Amino acid sequence: MGHKSKTASLTIAEMREFAGFAEHERAFIERSLDIGMGRGDAFKVWSRNADDQRAIRSQYLAYRELKRLRVMVPAEQGFDGIEDFMGALIRITAQDLAQETLDGFSAYRFLYERLLGASARAFLPAAFCGAAALPHIQPDRRKMLLQSLSEAAATAPAWSPREPGFFPEKVEDEAA
């Protein structure tokens, strides 16, 4: 299999994974990528009411740190810089999980590996568990989130260094 066909196959797998998420998870991922990657005006595209505006404003404020986090992903060996990186990542993750629009680790990982890049993958299970276990998350939701992390993801000996190839975005209805 050539490089182009292998890349296309991986991108198609990412598209299928995204399609398998619940509609509200897909919408949250698209909105979050718009905010985190500076794509368009998220308030115009995603605001339907005052609650949406508050949630988007909260994400804008939290996601300002993403650029800094992308360049400070710690090495997987050693602990230099881990407290600054993980502390900020857990806080941002907790804010996203508290919005109750990501129902499990898979959707979270899909979003955050795009927000932060492949080098952050190994740290995502720890950040997800740390954030999901915080008292800011409702107990039933906390249980559901923590149970969504598979043993394979929690104990993975290594993660792919390949950067994501598919970055979903909202397509406006032309009839509107």
Q: What pLDDT, on the 0 to 100 scale, is given for residue 47?
A: 85
Q: What pLDDT, on the 0 to 100 scale, is given for residue 41?
A: 84
Q: What pLDDT, on the 0 to 100 scale, is given for residue 176?
A: 44
- Report the domain count for the chain: 1
The answer to whether position 166 is within a domain reads: no
| Residue reference for tokens 């990186």 | 85
| CA distances, 139 to each of 106, 142, 156 (Å) | 20, 5, 27
The answer to whether position 17 is within a domain reads: no
Distance, in Å, from the CA atom of 60 to the CA atom of 64, rounded to the nearest integer, reads 6
Q: What range defines the domain where residue 116 resides?
A: 23-154
The answer to whether position 70 is within a domain reads: yes
The answer to whether position 176 is within a domain reads: no
- H/E/C letters for each residue in the chain? CCHHHHHHHHHHHHHHHHHCCCHHHHHHHHHHHHHHCCCCCHHHHHCCCHHHHHHHHHHHHHHCCHHHHHHCCCCCCCCCCHHHHHHHHHHHHHHHHHCCCCCCHHHHHHHHHHHHCHHHHHHHHHHHHHHHCCCCCCHHHHHHHHHCCCHHHHCCCCCCCCCCCCCCCCCCCCCC
The answer to whether position 112 is within a domain reads: yes
Q: Give the dihedral of Cα atoms 75, 168, 154, 103; nearest 10 deg.
A: 140
The answer to whether position 3 is within a domain reads: no
The answer to whether position 170 is within a domain reads: no
The answer to whether position 79 is within a domain reads: yes
Instruction: Walk along the chain (176 residues) in steps of 10 and give the mean pLDDT of each run.
Output: 69 94 96 92 85 90 94 86 95 96 97 96 96 96 96 86 91 55
